[in-house]
Every structure is written in C-alpha cells, then in structure tokens.
Amino acid sequence: MLFCLVFFFFQMPNGYDCSDMDLQVIPDQIPNSVQILKFSFNYLPALYNLTFQRLKSLNYLVLTS
C-alpha cells in the first residue's frame, strides 16, 4: 500500500509527496490528475518517454537527490 502525502497549494490543489520512500517507479496509485509530484530521494533507474505519459495534468515535478 502506498502512503504518499497529499498536499494542496492555493492554485494547484492536487499534489503528492512521495519523497524518500525508496521507490523505483511512479506508483499506479498516483491519480492521472496529479498536478504536482514530489519524487525526491527515490531511485528511478531510467526515465523513458512513457514514464510520466499518463500524468497529463502534471505541471511541476521534483526529482532532486
């Protein structure tokens, strides 16, 4: 079961913080409508053209390590 934190900003109310969870893929439980995704301090072994394809509303992605 996934326990990413849901957070809200005034103008972008649909955000998820999955930082530092030892994840290697974008979880299927993240809704397609997510606007902000914090995915810092995880390990994505590779990024492909299809990695974020289903997240059509994604405006802001954080991948810092």
Domain ranges of the chain: 1-65
Residue 10 has what pLDDT? 56
Q: Which CATH architecture is the domain 1-65 placed in? A: Alpha-Beta Horseshoe (3.80)
- Scored b (16 or more CB within 10 A) or e, 17-51 reads bbbeeebeebeeebeeebbbbbbeebeeeeeeeee
- Answering whether pTM is above 0.85, one says no
Which one-letter amino acid corresponds to residue 6? V
The percent of residues above 70 in pLDDT, for the chain, comes to 85
| pLDDT for residue 49 is more than 60 | yes
The CA distance from 42 to 9, in Å, is 23
In the structure, what pLDDT confidence band is assigned to residue 9 with cuts at 50, 70 and 90? low
